[in-house]
Structure 1
């Protein structure tokens, strides 16, 4: 079976890292946190409350695409937490030498804004949330992916994690039941050393 990359996407504060961690834990796949791969100029810009442009994001997305390719060439599937807000950004990630599938963690602006105001220690200020929603382009019918509702938190009974080996994901899947494993620390993570903060 060819390697698969699951990209957990969505706006800041949606819970991408938590969901990606659950997937990586369940599947025993390495995980990359895309926020750790931003160049310092991007981090400084966001911390100052300035939205990133396409020109800011494209080199960063190229780093993520290449990381997926390296894993795939080693025969590894992987999980990535990455906003991947626009169709063009996702098209760039799909250039990786792997099957790239998207899991969009979606919620209302009000719900995510409430979560952002509780988050500490992240360079992305809540003031940029509106710009993220303005950039967000929903998964299209021809894209390999699924949209899930973030109203179920990791502490609540959870629907089954979408199966990355079924083809294709059902569109806008809303499974019922429970079953995802609890969060556990110590998952395999990757980021270049200079990006750790």
Structure 2
């Protein structure tokens, strides 16, 4: 699926997104302030039934031209920061129902959430390691890694996601800026007792 994501920062420092993708016989445009769901509009594609409509290539070209004229540009993933949702499991083999649900559903759900907020996407997971001391759990760790365009907004979004998914208090959120020598820093955890022992 072809998708173009563009961004611009206004004079007040607010980051905005404008993106387009194809959905069946329509081109869908999604615009808004990063961290909000924004607005969606759609335009039918050229077909034998709709001969006066623009083709996919024409609509993509028009989107690129309009976005550039308004100051929007694509951001390379190498220039993005990272946000990580870390979950501490109750069972080593994910046999606990909450662990199984997290493994089966969380990555896709988080990817969808970040996409609709214009923030980024979930790039995969890493399983292994030991939860921090004083976390209350001793089994294993699951990290969901997400390249994002704004780490501060992403940290708030992941915190909200973790709360809605009832992951707290067995979780944490960390972020890392795009600089090559940047390290992950703990952004949030409901377990304040793990502040000094959190690792990623």
Same fold (TM > 0.5)? no
TM-score range, shorter chain: under 0.3
- The structure with higher relative contact order (CA 8 Å, sep 6+) is 1
Larger Cα-atom Rg: 2
As a proportion of its length, which structure holds more strand? 2
As a proportion of its length, which structure holds more helix? 1
TM-score, scaled to structure 1: 0.26
TM-score, scaled to structure 2: 0.26
